[in-house]
Amino acid sequence: MSETINTKNLMTEGNFKRKIITFAIPVFIGNLFQQFYNTADSLIVGNYLGSQSLAAVTSSGPIIYLLIGFFMGFSMGAGIVIARRIGAQNVELTSRSVHTAIAMGLVFSVVMTIFGVIFTPILLQWMNTPSDVIKEAIIYLRIYFIGCGALIMYNTGVGILQASGDSKHPLYYLILSSCVNIVLDIIFIANFHMGVEGAALATIISEVISAILVLNKLMRTSEAIHLDIKKISFNHDDLSSIVFYGLPTALQASVIDLGNILVQSYFNSFGSLAMAGVGIHNKIEGFSFLPVTSFSIAISTFVSQNLGAGKKDRMREGVRFGTILCTIMVEIIGILFFLFSSQLISAFDTNPEVIRYGVLYASISAPFYFLMGYSHVTSAVMRGAGKPRVPMFVMLFCWCAVRVITLLTIGQIIHDIRLAFWLYPFTWFLSAAFYFIYKRYLHKHDIL
């Protein structure tokens, strides 16, 4: 098969605003559906199984994000490498890096599954998961890890497609898998009365379907990103490049999520109702975060491709546009969450105490979403520009060290859940302030 670069999807030509928006919109819609089927677990579990089962499902989130976030950091590194080679229109190097990325994903899938199944009880105990929740939490998390390889391979494949400028096919696959997950949630929990294991099983099946679809797309394409099973192997140079870009992102994601686990253990000390309220808030906040995720991926790909093509001025204009648009969008969503938090949270659980905790959290954090959005988009710019260590150190200090140290010191003296709530907007401010100053420095010296 003769493999080529598909210039139609390249972000190095044409109206950069249209390119960024048309790339980001399918990513946004796809992430929206992914968030829907993640949230479907909580909605159905909360309404059919009760607050304790809901706490078991939502309290597993930080562990899932920690381990998967680490490996997904490497996938992002692979995407940056592939995008640059596509921008330079180098077919041979693009193909080689694609097969190295797939090989890496397969190895990570095996490691993740084994680690998760074995260490699930220990991880939940470290988080001070209450005794009335931990049994169901272990069941849910172990089943989830059994099928996590499908999630890793799906994200690896999606990263490759997005690096080529294709954000539409991942959308199609997510819509289908989301619908499958919601239907199976209802069947397993409402009809078969399977409990939290039904929610986990529905998620696994939907992820397997999406992984099969995206890998099949890669195997059928005639572009440079074509996947040939016989060519799957590790290339030293490609692996080194992927590690250079991916390891800082992986460490950043995993350590931040580790910090979130420690914060979650602080939340857990207030009981299962507080856990449920915080978990619901985090589910809803996930929707607010979608514009950030979507435009961050678009901007990172845009920066990588244009730097690969040597178009720095075009890259700067796109970064300015994407940052402003994303920040405004996420702040509007934050204001809406602030205004309607009570109604949104009560859709998951009608327990007044659960609602109180969730609303309190939203009233403190939601007005400051613009700080979170600016930090994430700028972090994506740094990664796409070949400076992955900058966001790693910024996020590790601001979003992990500050939060953990505060709870281990002040939090031991003042046992107030509002302290943990306020930590989030405060640390968003710290990272946004640094990024703003650092970007001005890079621009002044014509570095970025």
* Residue 124 CA to its chain's centroid (Å): 21
Contacts of 324 (CB under 8 A, 6+ apart): none
What's the mean pLDDT in 29-53?
Answer: 74
Separation CA 330–CA 15 (nearest Å): 24
In 3D, which of 195, 214, 25 has the Cα closest to residue 102? 214
Separation CA 5–CA 164 (nearest Å): 8
In the chain, the largest separation of any two C-alpha atoms, in whole Å, equals: 66
Terminal alpha carbon distance of the chain:
38
Provide the pLDDT for residue 1.
47
The structure tokens listed for 423 are 């930590």
Separation CA 268–CA 122 (nearest Å): 16
Q: What is the pLDDT of residues 384-436, one digit of tens each?
A: 887 888 888 898 888 888 998 999 899 889 889 999 999 999 999 999 999 99
Position with higher pLDDT, 386 vs 299: 299
Contacts of 227 (CB under 8 A, 6+ apart): 98, 99, 102, 215, 218, 219, 221
Q: If pLDDT is split at 50, 70 and 90, which confidence band does 131 have?
A: confident
Position with higher pLDDT, 176 vs 2: 176
Lookup result for tokens 């300015």: 320
Q: If pLDDT is split at 50, 70 and 90, which confidence band does 41 have?
A: low
Q: Give the angle 369-288-324 at the CA atoms, nearest 5°.
A: 55
Provide the pLDDT for residue 7.
62
Separation CA 200–CA 49 (nearest Å): 14
What's the mean pLDDT in 362-386?
Answer: 91
How far from 282 is each of 194, 275, 288, 365, 404, CA to CA, in Å? 25, 10, 10, 11, 18
| Helices 131-146, 51-59: crossing angle, 10 deg rounding | 50
Q: Would you say residue 261 has pLDDT above 80?
A: no
What's the mean pLDDT in 287-303?
Answer: 85
The structure tokens listed for 266 are 């602080």
Q: If pLDDT is split at 50, 70 and 90, which confidence band does 271 have?
A: confident
Q: What is the pLDDT of residues 310-339, one digit of tens each?
A: 888 898 899 999 999 989 999 999 999 999
Q: What is the pLDDT of residues 59-92, one digit of tens each?
A: 777 777 777 777 777 787 888 888 888 888 888 8
Per the CB < 8 A criterion, the answer to whether 346 and 47 are in contact is: no
Identity (one letter) of the amino acid at 420? Answer: A
Q: What is the pLDDT of residues 183-234, one digit of tens each?
A: 898 899 888 888 888 888 988 898 899 999 999 999 998 888 899 999 999 9
What is the per-residue burial (b if ≥16 Cβ within 10 Å, else e) of 285-319?
Answer: bbbbbbbbbbbbbbbbbbbbbbbbbebeebbeebb
SS3 content of the chain, % helix, strand, coil (to 5): 85, 0, 15
Provide the pLDDT for residue 396.
85
Contacts of 339 (CB under 8 A, 6+ apart): none
In 3D, which of 14, 20, 35 has the Cα closest to residue 325? 20
Helices H, strands E: what count in the chain?
17, 0
The structure tokens listed for 149 are 């390889």
DSSP helix/strand/coil, 5:
coil
The structure tokens listed for 53 are 């089962």
Q: What is the model's pTM?
A: 0.75
Q: Rounded to 10 degrees, what is the CA torsion of 104, 105, 110, 113? A: 140
What's the mean pLDDT in 28-54?
Answer: 75
Provide the pLDDT for residue 365.
95
Highest mean pLDDT among 27-31, 104-108, 191-195, 289-293: 104-108
Q: Would you say residue 305 has pLDDT above 80?
A: yes
Mean pLDDT across the chain, nearest whole number?
A: 86
Position with higher pLDDT, 173 vs 55: 173
